[in-house]
Amino acid sequence: MSRVRKVSVVLSVGLAVAALSAAAPAAATHVPQAPEILKVPDGNKLTGIVFARGVQTYQCTNNAWRFVQPDAILGNRGRAEVLHSKGPVWTSVLDGSSVTGAAVADSPVPDAIPELLLRSTGNRGPGKLGTVTFIQRLKTKGGVAPTGACSDGVTVSVPYTADYAFYAPA
């Protein structure tokens, strides 16, 4: 392999690693900054923070956009770890455990879906998500419902990103 080709390969791999690292959330040892209203109650500890990329789906009903469901893949350093879907439910692709949540507080974000604090309403399985008590949706970008008139029955999926922080009993 020529010297130029070797340098190109090294640079390409380095840029790919840097891009994945930039998309990766902060280490799970540091509780993320969140508005006071989204703080997790004492007695819970951070178990992980995972970057999400997905869509928020809306449907036109009675000439207004209504939220239908989220669909996202949560991953760390380019590796899928959790699927997020209607419920809302988060399911580990690593061990099959899951957590269902309900929003207990929100904080608006300009031009993005709000940040949330969710409380677990049910868990399944002994794995990664089996003991989750709270979830924070933070650093949201995009995902906002369309504005203006629409035709009944039409659906639109709007891309979004966020960090999801998971907590379990301390």
Distance CA 9, CA 24 (A): 23
pLDDT in tens, 132-148: 999 999 999 999 999 98
164: confidence class by pLDDT, cuts 50, 70, 90: very high
Domain residue ranges in the chain = 3-169
Residue 18 has pLDDT above 80, yes or no: no
For residue range 87-101, list pLDDT tens digits in order. 999 999 999 999 999
Residues 118, 103: contact at Cβ < 8 Å? yes
**Any idea which residue has 């899951």 for tokens?**
98
Q: What is the DSSP letter of 154?
A: -
pTM of the model: 0.83
Amino acid making up residue 1: M
Is residue 73 pLDDT above 70, yes or no? yes
- Whole-angstrom CA distances from 169 to 33, 42, 138, 161 are 19, 9, 20, 27
Binning pLDDT at 50, 70 and 90, where does residue 19 land? very low
Q: Across the chain, where does the E strand assignment appear?
A: 44-61, 64-76, 79-85, 89-92, 98-109, 112-124, 134-142, 155-169
